[in-house]
A and B are shown apart, each in its own frame.
Chain A
Amino acid sequence: MRYLIVGNSAAGIFAAETIRGLDQAGQIIMVSQEDNLPYSRCLTSYLLGQEIPEQRIYIRNDNYYSETGIEFIGQNVEQVDARAKSVLLANGEKLSYDKLLIATGSSPFTPPIDGSNLEGVFQLRTLEDAKKIADFVPNVKEAVVVGAGLVGLKGAHGLHELGINVNVVEFAPQLMPLSLDSEAAGMVAGLLEKDGYRFYLNNKVVKILGEKNNNGGMTVSGVVLDSGEQIACQLVLMAVGVRPNTALVRDSGVKVNKGIIVNDRMQTSVEDIYSAGDVAETYDLLWDENRINALWPMATAQGIVAGCNMAGIERRYEGSMGLNSAVFCGVGVISAGILNLPDGEGQVFRAAEPQRNYYRKFILRDDRLVGMIMVGEIEGAGFLSALIRKRVKVNKTVVNQWLTDKISYQGYFSEGIPMGKVGQ
């Protein structure tokens, strides 16, 4: 059996390891345009901020490919030919496969802003991006980050760690509009503002200004906001979202909506082609429809399911959900599931103590927990995310206790609520 895996990040690595565990004799070929050992994209901002040395960004050891018997090829895959069961590499070579996994991830989306091609405009996705920014920052005193999602804020944190003044511009009226509600976002904004960050909410960058540099090129000198305001800066970090890398499956017959559509076995619409990770549009168990949840834990779980099915062991994916964890100025923030239900639907339990950066919000629908936010004390958050994932009915008295108490199994045995098969 010849397994071909395109992509060497979370989904690709976990799929390859799963396949290797189930099929010691099979040939596993991994192709990625990033010619290096598997690393964690989530750590690029830590590398940028010099919080970790480069060697710690790698999630597997130096001999990983040889030890696991993975043949690694550092090439971009240009096109999938489903009829011939082969892929075309950028160097013109063709590779055949028996089972193919597309785990190409996603790429930062670059909005069409005047001046976004200037020197000093960056994005933060890959190890190379982080290194490019690191090379550029010695000349930077002031930076503008476009987008206050998790990537934008982590990137901003990295720059802040280097002593750069950071300005964050966000189109929405709050930080992290996809993963927090306005109250929790306000708390995070307060923390960061105290630390010296400046936020421009309800705003957007309409133009990036440039000036001539010593090399005859044009370098960033500032940005113009929608409000007319100008911010002088030497660096702009674009973090307005990502788009799935689906270009390689065009004309292959693989169905693509926003991402590559897969079923609960991670199979695409074409036989023997599977997809997992940020590029795949998988079943979201809370929204009850296919969605892209471009998150590390979802990518690894999908990679494992894909690996099992590729190696002939049937495994079904239970579904994705929104799930985020971040730490701001030492304060943990975790959110899961659906955070904003339409008015009149569901029931919300909340507790806020802004003076000690404590916030909890639980969202119930049909007596089931469908979403939660925890700021401050985050211990036991996994218990709640398991209840959300398993769609367990919860007791409202217990939910009320969780607003202030430690979250644990307590109450669950005595209330007679079945735990079901949480976790396994």
Chain B
Amino acid sequence: MPKIYFRPERCDGCRACELACIEKHSQTQSIFMANLEKPSPQSRIRVSQSANQFAAVVCQQCLQAMCVEACMTGAMQYSESGAVIHDAKQCVGCWMCVMVCPFGAVIPLAEAKKAGKCNLCEEEKLPACVLACTRKALWYCTGEEYEIKAAGELECAT
């Protein structure tokens, strides 16, 4: 199953991924209108900075996901392809998933009183954040593809 990988050495912290994610999760599908919406859409990918290093955190679609184990409502589930999916209708906003996700990748949507997480933009060919990342610091691929690509990159660098 493909998922989103992050390559820290390529990221310059432009946060285009966050904007693309907000837009994608907005009612209006517009980054300009998103700010006016209630509840205001939140990014499922978060870039943090430390000195001159950046780290993007997004759901890692764990094979054995702690959020699924902790979810007391059954809202967090595995899809047939193995992705971790979240049923907002079932969610009561107890934040048990937020409490256990070791990546901090489940986001409490306080206004909506629901948890939010990356759904890999399931209806799109490529997730919006990956498409928006001009420095190609975000990769959307399977684990095997990632390893091959990452090894190739290392070879080029040396």
Q: Mark A309-338, 1 if CB is under 8 A from B, else 0.
A: 000000000000001111100101010100
Are A56 and B100 in contact (CB-based, < 8 A)?
Answer: no
Are B8 and A413 in contact (CB-based, < 8 A)?
Answer: yes
User: Which B residues between 95 and 119 are near A, CB-CB below 8 angstroms?
Assistant: 95-104, 106-108, 110, 113
Contact of B108 among A332, A385, A407 (CB under 8 A): A332
Are A410 and B48 in contact (CB-based, < 8 A)?
Answer: yes
User: Which B residues between 31 and 90 are near A, CB-CB below 8 angstroms?
Assistant: 46, 48-51, 53, 55, 57, 60, 62, 64, 66, 69-70, 72-74, 90
Q: A40-B74, A327-B94 are in contact. Are A413 and B55 (CB under 8 A)?
A: yes
Residues of chain B lying within 8 A (CB to CB) of residue A52: 92
Are A14 and B69 in contact (CB-based, < 8 A)?
Answer: yes
Contact of B98 among A59, A334, A415 (CB under 8 A): A334
Residues of chain B lying within 8 A (CB to CB) of residue A330: 110, 113
Complex interface: stretch among A207-215, A361-369, A374-382: A374-382
Q: A334-B95, A379-B98, A381-B99 are in contact. Are A411 and B62 (CB under 8 A)?
A: no
Are B103 and A382 in contact (CB-based, < 8 A)?
Answer: yes
Residues of chain B lying within 8 A (CB to CB) of residue A51: 92
Are B108 and A379 in contact (CB-based, < 8 A)?
Answer: yes
Q: A40-B72, A42-B72, A334-B95 are in contact. Are A382 and B100 (CB under 8 A)?
A: yes
**Whose C-beta in chain B lies nearest to the C-beta of A17?**
B78
**Bound state CA distance, A320 and B116, in angstroms?**
26
Contact of B102 among A43, A379, A383 (CB under 8 A): A383
**Bound state CA distance, A419 and B135, in angstroms?**
25
Are B95 and A301 in contact (CB-based, < 8 A)?
Answer: no
Residues of chain A lying within 8 A (CB to CB) of residue B97: 382
Distance (whole angstroms) from the CB of B136 to the closest CB of chain A: 20
Q: Indicate if A2 sits at the interface (CB-CB under 8 A).
A: no
How many contacts between A and B, using CB within 8 angstroms?
122
Are A297 and B100 in contact (CB-based, < 8 A)?
Answer: yes
Q: Indicate if A88 sits at the interface (CB-CB under 8 A).
A: no
Q: Indicate if B93 sits at the interface (CB-CB under 8 A).
A: yes
**Bound state CA distance, A424 and B70, in angstroms?**
15
Q: Mark A220-259, 1 if CB is under 8 A from B, else 0.
A: 0000000000000000000000000000000000000000
Are B69 and A304 in contact (CB-based, < 8 A)?
Answer: yes
User: Which A residues between 405 and 424 are near B, CB-CB below 8 angstroms?
Assistant: 406-415, 422-424
Are A408 and B66 in contact (CB-based, < 8 A)?
Answer: no
Residues of chain B lying within 8 A (CB to CB) of residue A327: 93-95
Q: A383-B104, A413-B53 are in contact. Are A43 and B73 (CB under 8 A)?
A: yes
Contact of B100 among A14, A60, A379, A385 (CB under 8 A): A385
Residues of chain A lying within 8 A (CB to CB) of residue B57: 408-409
Q: Indicate if A171 sits at the interface (CB-CB under 8 A).
A: no
**Bound state CA distance, A296 and B100, in angstroms?**
12
User: Which A residues between 6 and 50 are near B, CB-CB below 8 angstroms?
Assistant: 14, 40, 42-43, 46
Are A382 and B98 in contact (CB-based, < 8 A)?
Answer: yes
Are B72 and A408 in contact (CB-based, < 8 A)?
Answer: no
Contact of A409 among B55, B60, B66 (CB under 8 A): B55
Interface size class on chain B is 35 or more
Residues of chain A lying within 8 A (CB to CB) of residue B74: 40, 58-60
Are B53 and A414 in contact (CB-based, < 8 A)?
Answer: yes
Distance (whole angstroms) from the CB of A313 to the closest CB of chain B: 13
**Whose C-beta in chain A lies nearest to the C-beta of B51?**
A414
Are A410 and B50 in contact (CB-based, < 8 A)?
Answer: yes
Q: Indicate if A104 sits at the interface (CB-CB under 8 A).
A: no
Are A410 and B49 in contact (CB-based, < 8 A)?
Answer: yes
Are B50 and A326 in contact (CB-based, < 8 A)?
Answer: no
Are B102 and A408 in contact (CB-based, < 8 A)?
Answer: no
Are B108 and A378 in contact (CB-based, < 8 A)?
Answer: yes
Are B104 and A408 in contact (CB-based, < 8 A)?
Answer: yes
Distance (whole angstroms) from the CB of A16 to the closest CB of chain B: 14
Are B104 and A325 in contact (CB-based, < 8 A)?
Answer: no
Q: A60-B74, A409-B104 are in contact. Are A378 and B69 (CB under 8 A)?
A: no
**Whose C-beta in chain B lies nearest to the C-beta of A411?**
B50
Residues of chain A lying within 8 A (CB to CB) of residue B53: 413-414
Q: Indicate if A300 sits at the interface (CB-CB under 8 A).
A: yes
Are A423 and B62 in contact (CB-based, < 8 A)?
Answer: yes
Contact of B55 among A324, A406, A410 (CB under 8 A): A410
Are B8 and A325 in contact (CB-based, < 8 A)?
Answer: no
Contacts beyond the supplied A332-B98, A378-B95, A424-B64: 17 A-B pairs with Cβ under 8 Å = A42-B94, A43-B73, A297-B100, A325-B95, A325-B96, A334-B98, A379-B104, A382-B98, A382-B102, A383-B101, A386-B100, A412-B50, A413-B50, A414-B53, A422-B102, A423-B62, A423-B101
5 shortest interchain CB distances as A-B pairs: A59-B74, A423-B102, A386-B102, A382-B101, A297-B70
